[in-house]
């Protein structure tokens, strides 16, 4: 397809790009816009038909929603915000700076503004902040036919119509939920309440991870969010929950890797921001790890007498850190999936202690074999007490790996116990914890086995 008036390559032409987007799926358009500068993306959005622009801004995957809205003329931006899902619109408004924020809210009609302001009041990552207020509800006294007519008439303006909520006509509390599939199969003259099921609901301050668990467990397409009196405030839909699960998963891996979670894609994070997010934890870990230098200083006399011991320090420390990292990753997920409850900590410890000792024993045997082989093959001379050195290494490994397994598995419990996310436990943190203790275990074992010979 060759166009005559095409823009020269490399030069950005909003009109050409906007025209080429006609008929594209909104999700694909979002990917293209994400590759542009925010101001260029705003130029393109301005040229799109209103419906298309709303559909694109409604995608939480769009990086620069707030920048685009801020760059558009206020009345255009207001019309777009009013057409969007209230939950995504609220997310965008939250990111706006003053005076744009107040000016834009002023452009909105009372209903749209009210919905957005209400949503802004809920803390991030809660059901309240995620919910949309565009749901379908009908009085519980209606018939199937009435309900179906209503669904048809509001279909275009609702985020989902696959679940219909029944409200008590007097106190307007939620009394039931009907799926669209049950509705269309119902007898038109039947009472809608005859098809209803007890709704599975959540409260606005529930954490998004718990909402995700509810949706996953009951295979729901949406969860109604209610206040304590039972009034329906909004619904959280399955597509928002998928985005949330993916985001949580990214955060969990990053936290486990030992850094603060990032919100933007890798290439979008400024270098200084990146250094802050990584440097903070790195410095904390570094200062804690300084204890290893103190431990080594404390055992300086022993090190001088038996320099051969230093050769195995990295090996023993890292084995403790590795077994701790394994145990932590196991328990973080078990607690997140609720396979294991907080009260199970002692049951876990009773498993981890023997598991760690056996794993340490296996490594100990490998370590001992190495010392014997190197000695016998003449690769390295560990001195006249080489067999005792080998036994020291093997015994220390049992202790260090067992300690690593127990400490690594208990850390997520401890974090959850004091009200933190168990997923805040990171592999580097566990390694630091185990390094310091591991060194002490190693030197103590050495003193026990080598006293009278090397020490």
> Which residue lies nearer to a second copy by CB, 15 or 184?
184
Question: In this complex, which beta carbon is closest to a second copy, that of residue 29 or of residue 126?
Answer: 29
Q: How far is the CB of 44 from a second copy (least distance, A)?
A: 19
Q: How far is the CB of 374 from a second copy (least distance, A)?
A: 9
Task: Please give the Cα distance from 291 to 111 (Å, whole number).
Answer: 59
State the minimum distance, in angstroms, from the CB of residue 330 to a second copy. 6
- Give Cα separations from 77 to 60, 86, 179, 218, 445 (angstroms): 17, 14, 35, 38, 70
71 CB contacts (<8 Å, ≥6 apart)? 38, 39, 42
Q: CB of residue 285 vs a second copy: minimum separation in angstroms?
A: 5
Tokens of 244: 């949330």
Q: How far apart are CA 90 and CA 83, in angstroms?
A: 12
* Tokens read off for 147: 């309900």
Q: CB 434 → a second copy: shortest distance, Å? A: 10
Nearer to a second copy, 37 or 249 (CB): 249
- State which residue, 296 or 372, has the beta carbon closest to a second copy: 296
Please give the Cα distance from 8 to 274 (Å, whole number).
Answer: 36
Residues 6+ apart with CB under 8 A from 22: 52
Task: Tell which residue, 87, 24, 18, has the closest CA to residue 59.
Answer: 87
Stretch (H or E) spanning 294? helix 271-298
Closest distance to a second copy from the beta carbon of 293 (Å):
5
> Closest CB to a second copy among 42 and 427?
427
CA distances from 226 to 114, 128, 141, 157, 431 (A): 17, 9, 20, 21, 44
105 vs 245, which CB is nearer to a second copy?
Answer: 245
Distance from C-alpha of 289 to C-alpha of 446, rounded to nearest angstrom = 22
């Amino acid at each position: 397809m060759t166009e005559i008036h095409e823009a020269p390559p490399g030069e950005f032409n909003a009109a050409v790009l906007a025209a080429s987007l006609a008929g594209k799926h909104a999700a694909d358009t979002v990917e293209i816009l994400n590759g542009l500068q925010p101001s260029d993306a705003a130029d393109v959005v301005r040229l799109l038909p209103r419906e298309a622009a709303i559909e694109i801004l409604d995608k939480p995957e769009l990086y620069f929603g707030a920048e685009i809205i801020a760059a558009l003329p206020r009345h255009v931006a207001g019309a777009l915000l009013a057409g969007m899902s209230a939950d995504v619109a609220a997310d965008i408004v939250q990111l706006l700076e003053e005076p744009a924020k107040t000016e834009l809210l002023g452009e909105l009609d009372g209903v749209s503004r009210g919905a957005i302001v209400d949503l802004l009041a809920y803390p991030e990552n809660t059901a309240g902040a995620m919910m949309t207020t565009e749901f379908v509800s009908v009085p519980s006294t209606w018939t199937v036919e009435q309900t179906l007519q209503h669904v048809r008439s509001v279909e275009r303006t609702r985020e989902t119509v696959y679940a219909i909520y029944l409200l008590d006509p007097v106190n307007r509390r939620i009394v039931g939920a009907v799926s669209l599939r049950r509705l269309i199969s119902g007898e038109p003259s039947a009472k809608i309440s005859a098809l209803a099921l007890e709704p599975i609901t959540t409260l606005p301050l529930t954490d998004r991870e718990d909402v995700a668990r509810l949706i996953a467990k009951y295979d729901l397409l949406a969860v109604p969010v209610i206040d304590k009196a039972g009034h329906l405030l909004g619904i959280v839909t399955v597509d928002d929950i998928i985005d949330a699960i993916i985001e949580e998963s990214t955060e969990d891996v990053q936290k486990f890797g030992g850094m603060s979670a990032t919100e933007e894609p890798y290439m979008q994070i400024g270098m200084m921001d990146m250094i802050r997010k990584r440097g903070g934890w790195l410095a904390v870990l570094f200062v804690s790890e300084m204890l290893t230098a103190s431990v080594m200083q404390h055992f300086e006399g022993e090190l001088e007498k038996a320099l051969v011991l230093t050769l195995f320090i990295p090996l023993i420390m890292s084995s403790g850190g590795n077994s701790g990292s394994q145990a932590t990753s196991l328990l973080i997920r078990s607690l997140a999936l609720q396979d294991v409850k907080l009260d199970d900590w002692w049951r876990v410890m009773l498993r981890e202690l023997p598991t760690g000792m056996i794993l340490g024993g296996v490594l100990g045997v490998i370590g001992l074999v190495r010392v014997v082989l190197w000695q016998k093959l003449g690769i390295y001379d560990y001195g006249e007490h080489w067999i005792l050195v080998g036994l020291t290494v093997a015994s220390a490994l049992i202790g260090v790996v067992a300690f690593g397994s127990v400490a690594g598995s208990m850390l997520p419990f401890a974090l959850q116990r004091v009200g933190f996310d168990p997923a805040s436990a990171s592999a580097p943190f566990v390694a630091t914890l185990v390094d310091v203790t591991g060194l002490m275990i190693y030197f103590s074992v050495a003193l026990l086995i080598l006293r009278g010979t090397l020490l």
